[in-house]
Amino acid sequence: MAARWWRWLLLLMLLGLAPGSQAAPGAVWVLSIDDAIGPASADYLVRSLDQAHAQGAQLVVIRMDTPGGLDSAMRQMIKAILASPVPVASFVAPSGARAASAGTYILYASHVAAMAPGTNLGAATPVQIGGPPGMPKDDKAKPSGDEQTLARKQVNDAAAYIRGLAQLRGRNADWAEQAVREAVSLSASEALRLKVVDLVATDLPDLLRQLDGKTLDAAGQPQQMHTRAASLVEHLPDWRTRLLAVITNPSVALILIMVGVYGLLFEFMSPGSTVGGVIGGICLLLALYALQLLPVSYAGVALILLGLAFMIAEAFLPSFGVVGFGGIVAFVVGAVILMDTDVPGFGIPLPLIASLAVLSALLIGGVLGMALKARKRALVSGDAGLVGSLVTVTQVLADNPFCGSVQAQGEQWQVQCATPLQPGQHVRVTARRGVMLEVSAAAPAAQGE
């Protein structure tokens, strides 16, 4: 009887969990991209498209507001959209949003391209090689011949890529190439007039009403949309996507490197505390993982690590600050050239670099200050601390009252004196001869110490 009740209870639990475990078939999934496109955005989109297909969604809507992003992440997202068996509609919304640079490519790659009134797209010229962050274009040095050749290759490749996407979706290929070569932009109404986008919708329900009854070709299979009364599933970024977005921020990655290296340094200086080693190891591994996902300059990474090594070496070498402050210079230069891109959202602010450099300088100054204080302090160990110290006689030889033993610096020493010794007598060390100490009877004033 008990087993039967358990079976019924388990059946009721399964029936109660089933409706919430997955979206209803034919639902419309809504994704949100509201920042620069990077590794986190690509991971979020690829996994969401797989989940939408597994749960039988009929359409995925990407609600987009982005200034652009990394070329590698953008291409990963476009590959997923082109291979998706679920149609994808990119919707630049709400009003005031934009789909600049990488966002324009994603819009062209989608099965449906839509915009809300008051939005814009374009400015799709690839940006890869630039000067230090925050420096205006006019202030940069004139690029060399090799850099000009590389820039032309990047522009030509990007133009051919977006033209291919436009031809695949039947959109305006000439304007797409112009957006790459001349960095032009369009408003929503102009984009609709020039057949750059398919629809202009005021909001998501309006977009679904306009898509209802249309047939879209996804992965070679025509699919008719029934979106007017379809249920909506807001698929927001999960903890993994949010964590990836945080650690792949170049500023956060730089801070993680600092925390990781200094954490390990403190662990090596005071072994056994474990806190510095655990925190430092985790931060350093997260930083290295983030850097391998980002377009970094390996020269910048090498300079940062060299600078940190110099700053650490300052604590162990008698260089009086030369090595440490040289390390600060190497760290600042490395941080400035760390990111090999001018893409918005992937630069390191100069105030952050300056703050980390000042923090390191204060740390080095503190280490130097402690070292100088230690040099002025009297020695309390070794021969310098032994000679002149006051000790107590613990044992006197029976056959030689001029020799005996004393306790000094936690050790038992043999002593000899010019006058007879008595157990418990206070004597002062005058010299050391190998393992033998020479002592003299302490003055009465000294005995009271």
- In the predicted model, is pLDDT for residue 227 greater than 80? yes
- pLDDT tens readout for residues 370-403: 666 656 555 555 556 677 778 888 888 878 888 8
Backbone angles phi, psi at 121, to 5 degrees: -145, 165
The residue among 202 and 15 whose pLDDT is bigger is 202
Return the CA Rg of the chain: 36
Return the pLDDT at 15: 45
- In the predicted model, is pLDDT for residue 120 greater than 80? yes
At residue 414, the 3 state secondary structure works out as strand
For range 410-423, the mean pLDDT: 83
Confidence of residue 447 (pLDDT cuts 50, 70, 90): very low
Of 4-13, 100-109, 184-193, minimum mean pLDDT range: 4-13
For range 290-300, the mean pLDDT: 86
Return the pLDDT at 84: 94
- In the predicted model, is pLDDT for residue 184 greater than 70? yes
| CA dihedral sign, ordered 11, 16, 22, 23 | positive
| Domain boundaries defined on the chain | 23-240, 248-376, 382-447
Of 18-27, 118-127, 149-158, 272-281, minimum mean pLDDT range: 18-27
378: buried, middle or exposed (CB in 10 Å: 19+, 13-18, 0-12)? exposed
For range 275-293, the mean pLDDT: 87
Return the pLDDT at 370: 67
Q: Which amino acid is at 400?
A: N
Q: In angstroms, rounded to a whole number, what is the distance separating the alpha carbons of residues 124 and 186? A: 11
Q: List C-alpha distances in Å: 448 to 381, 391, 425, 429, 437.
A: 23, 12, 12, 16, 22
Of 24-28, 287-291, 436-440, minimum mean pLDDT range: 24-28
| CA dihedral sign, ordered 33, 237, 55, 79 | positive
The whole-chain average pLDDT of the chain stands at 82
Q: What is the CATH number of domain 382-447?
A: 2.40.50.140
Laid out side by side, the sheet with 28-33 consists of 199-200, 112-115, 88-92, 59-64, 28-33, 232-234
Using a pLDDT cut of 90, give the percent of the chain over it: 37
What CATH class does 23-240 carry?
alpha beta
The residue among 269 and 347 whose pLDDT is bigger is 347
- Look-up of token digits 């302090």: 377
- In the predicted model, is pLDDT for residue 435 greater than 80? no
For range 39-53, the mean pLDDT: 94
51: buried, middle or exposed (CB in 10 Å: 19+, 13-18, 0-12)? middle
The answer to whether the predicted template modeling score (pTM) of the entire model surpasses 0.75 is: no
Return the pLDDT at 7: 55
Confidence of residue 429 (pLDDT cuts 50, 70, 90): confident
The crossing angle, in degrees rounded to 10, of helices 322-336 and 298-313 is 160
- In the predicted model, is pLDDT for residue 13 greater than 60? no
Return the pLDDT at 128: 54
23-240 matches 382-447 in fold: no
For range 148-156, the mean pLDDT: 82
Return the pLDDT at 318: 64
Return the pLDDT at 10: 52
Confidence of residue 139 (pLDDT cuts 50, 70, 90): very low
At residue 378, the 3 state secondary structure works out as coil
Return the pLDDT at 350: 87
